[in-house]
Structure 1
Amino acid sequence: MTKLAQWLWGLAILGSTWVALTTGALGLELPLSCQEVLWPLPAYLLVSAGCYALGTVGYRVATFHDCEDAARELQSQIQEARADLARRGLRF
């Protein structure tokens, strides 16, 4: 099963549970305080997922490691290419 299928199954299960609880399809008599929390629950979950994603991206950017050896190698290749092109008559 792919990761997308896992996420879709999870969302389908959560969504059907939410619909069943909010419409009263299960025959449960939830207290009014639970019903008031249950209605905006998808919006809360969406905002929470967005905050988690933003935090994860921020953390990954903050802890990104530079590859100094690769940067030096790339700079030397650029210099070689410029020298080769200059030898062939291209001006920069």
Structure 2
Amino acid sequence: MTKLLEWVSVLSAMFAVWYSLIGGYVKHPLIEKNINLILISPLIFIALFGLYAVTVVLYRVFTFNNCEEAAKELQNEIAEARKDLLDKGLKF
């Protein structure tokens, strides 16, 4: 199952439950008491998902590994490549 299909399945199930609650198909005093919260619950979920996404991105940015050894190795390879190209007659 692809990620898109997973997201569509979950969103469809959540929409079906939400629609049954606001459509009056499920009768319960607790639902009737909190109908305003149920109506705006999709907006709350979107806001919470956005907060989660920002948190994950910021965490991964702040904990990004800095590879000093790999950078030095890459600089050495670039220097070797330039030297090799100069020996072959290419000028920068």
CA RMSD of aligned residues (A): 1.7
CA distance in 1, matches of 2:50, 2:69: 35
Matched residue, 1:31 = 32
> Between Structure 1 and Structure 2, how many residues are aligned?
91
* Unpaired stretches in structure 2, ≥5 consecutive residues: none
CA distance in 1, matches of 2:61, 2:79: 29
CA distance in 2, matches of 1:56, 1:5: 23
Matched residue, 2:66 = 66
Matched residue, 1:44 = 44
Compute the TM-score of the two structures, normalised by the length of structure 1.
Answer: 0.84
* Unpaired stretches in structure 1, ≥5 consecutive residues: none
Shift of 1:52: 0.5
